[in-house]
Chain A
Amino acid sequence: MTTKRLMKGNEALGEGAIQAGCGAYFGYPITPQNELTEYMSRRMLEENRVFIQSESELAAINMVFGASVAGARAMTSSSSPGVSLKQEGLSYMAGCELPGLVVNVQRGGPGLGNISGSQADYFQAVKGGGHGDYHLIVLTPGSVQELYEMPALAFSLSEKYRTPAMILTDGILAQMQEPMEAVKIDTTRDENRDWILDGCKGRAPRKIRSLLMEEGALEAHNRHLQDKYNLIKTQEQRYQLINEQAEIMLVAYGISARVCYTAIQEANKKGAKLGLLRPLTVWPFPEKILQELALKVKAFLVVELNAGQMVEDVKLAVNGKTPVHFYGRAGGACVTPGEILKEIEKI
């Protein structure tokens, strides 16, 4: 039996990645994710693994690209402005079908914004982010415990489908200290490693490329990628559903889901019938469960720390069958349970 310990979100995420077999970490300082880079600078060396404080976010994601080419479970982390800089590299990794993990500890934007927790990078995370038609697999932890456990899932899905994954969290969860349990992490890796570059001894040379200039070749590659994304959509939609019988279903992930949870507990004690759908993957988006819920609930209320981003995906899934409301606060501000309950009264 493992014992509970108090851990900060950023550090729990780092330890979770190490337990998941992260072989190479590259990072650049930015608040509010610094504890993660600092934690890795010590622990990765203790474990005799690769750690580099890179000269930039561009270098960090391209070091991840290289380590992934060489067969490592490789990762980088940053916060919003830094994650913008990584988009070029992520597009190349998607095009080259390389696994890898990027953590975004979101802060308020646009621009330099501020250092408060935020969920304003949702569009960037789930709609591609860089150039070209691609998607990242995007996981959204909701507690320090999940920050510890999700790197293993992220690496595993990323390798299974050979596409980069992102853990989309925020400055509040990452800075939060909570009791967590260092549960045993599954480190099983995909057996199919016949694409890595480690020298062509005993085999034909391999090439890793996204440049496809021959007539029709890039379109065929895109068809292959879309087939893969469609497979991920059918196989990997993950979520947590609280109060399936609710009349009004809140939809929120990460820190806003935590606030929603408090709100529905308070309200349900007084006889309200509120539920919470918490996506654990925002790409693929849990649209199947939303389609089912749309036939049962009276209304949805989407709560986000932004001006309304995930609400668009909820509306697409619900497709007009049920009213979809939105409440959010942007610019690094956080919603409160009281504000959420006031919004529900308006429905």
Chain B
Amino acid sequence: MKKLFSKPESLTDTDHKYCPGCGHGIVHRLVAEVIDELGIREKTIGIAPVGCAVFAYDYWNFDVTEASHGRPPAVATGIKRFLPDRVVFTYQGDGDLAAIGMAETIHAANRGENITVIFINNAIYGMTTGQMAPTSLLGMKTTTSPFGRDPKLAGYPIRVGELLSTLEGTTFLARCAVDSAKHVLDAKKAIKKAFEVQLAGKGYSMVEILSQCPPNWKKSVPESLEYVRKEMMSYFPLGVIKDKTKA
């Protein structure tokens, strides 16, 4: 009988610890499917962040290392420069990538490191149960912005893709979401493209994925998906932000 659907080889059988409605599980699978399809599982080294995805090394069936909070781009740089023929990617949340690790993010991008960054933007610190993130929207209530994010106190949500697009070192930057089947498929295409950029030696690629965090947003799953569509997408527009391979 023809096999139509199966678990990617790049995923283990370990049960995810993610909350109901979380986007991480979907993105883990997309990364795994892309790695399988490109036939690169045996030469891929992933870097798990500090944050909700800290246990990613249990879920992926290839070599994975941890990194301290915010430092995955520096760790990826060390690995990739020493083993340039391997595929190296980081998987990071918004606090990791855009707050504590912003310097590493910008400089790895600026050096044009030939790595891929998968960036989960759910506008909140999930693992630590709901503090304000650098990408929390204005007015968003979190445990550390109980009256809503006020730009006078906390500045503005950072559009990471647009910020990185000004750097000559970046090659492919896209923003996707996992709120609907169509967007999941688009996200997979972008992730695949990002890895292909790396495989072709064309430099730094980053895919930002708008994700939902129902428990910390204090919303039901359907409400969370609506929030992604209405609020997040209007501030963080979806699409390819930069593609130097087309120039």
Which A residues are within 8 Å of any B CB, using their own CB?
Answer: 23-24, 26, 50, 52, 54-56, 58-60, 62-72, 74, 88-89, 92, 96, 197-202, 205-211
Contacts and interface: CB of A to CB of B under 8 A. Distances in A.
Contact of B45 (A26, A68, A199, A211): A199
A202 B41 CA distance: 11
A77 to B, nearest CB: 15
Contacts, number: 134
B78 A197 contact: no
Contacts of A207: 57-58, 63-65
A201 B68 contact: no
B81 A24 contact: yes
Contacts of A58: 71, 74, 103-104
Nearest to A210: B66
A22 to B, nearest CB: 11
Nearest to A63: B78
Given A88-B68, A207-B57, A210-B66, A198 B78 contact: no
Given A62-B71, A70-B83, A92-B68, A24 B78 contact: yes
Nearest to A206: B63
Contacts of A210: 66
A211 B67 contact: no
B74 A199 contact: no
Which A-B residue pairs are the 4 nearest by beta carbons? Answer: A66-B78, A62-B74, A201-B42, A66-B75
A55 B54 CA distance: 25
Secondary structure of the B contact surface, majority rule:
helix
Contacts of B65: 66, 69, 96, 197, 207-209
B141 to A, nearest CB: 29
Contact of B41 (A54, A88, A200): A200
Interface residues of B, number: 37
B219 interface: no
A72 B79 CA distance: 9
A62 B79 contact: no
B44 A63 contact: no
25 contacts: A23-B82, A55-B104, A55-B107, A59-B71, A59-B107, A60-B74, A62-B67, A62-B74, A62-B75, A63-B77, A65-B71, A65-B78, A66-B65, A66-B82, A67-B82, A69-B75, A74-B82, A197-B65, A198-B83, A199-B44, A200-B63, A207-B64, A208-B65, A209-B66, A211-B54
Nearest to A88: B68
A64 B78 CA distance: 6
B39 to A, nearest CB: 11
A130 B221 CA distance: 41
Contact of B81 (A52, A68, A88, A206): A52
Nearest to A98: B65
A24 B82 contact: yes
A200 B61 CA distance: 9
Contact of A197 (B45, B67, B77): B45
Contact of B42 (A62, A65, A74, A199): A199
Interface in B69-120: 71, 74-83, 86, 103-104, 106-107, 111
B204 interface: no
Interface string B149-185: 0000000000000000000000000000000000000
A55 B103 contact: yes
Contact of A70 (B41, B45, B64, B107): B45
A74 B71 CA distance: 17
A155 to B, nearest CB: 15
Contacts of A26: 78
B165 to A, nearest CB: 19
B86 A199 contact: yes
Interface string B34-48: 000000011111011
A91 B45 CA distance: 22
A215 to B, nearest CB: 15
Given A199-B63, A205-B63, A207-B57, A67 B79 contact: yes
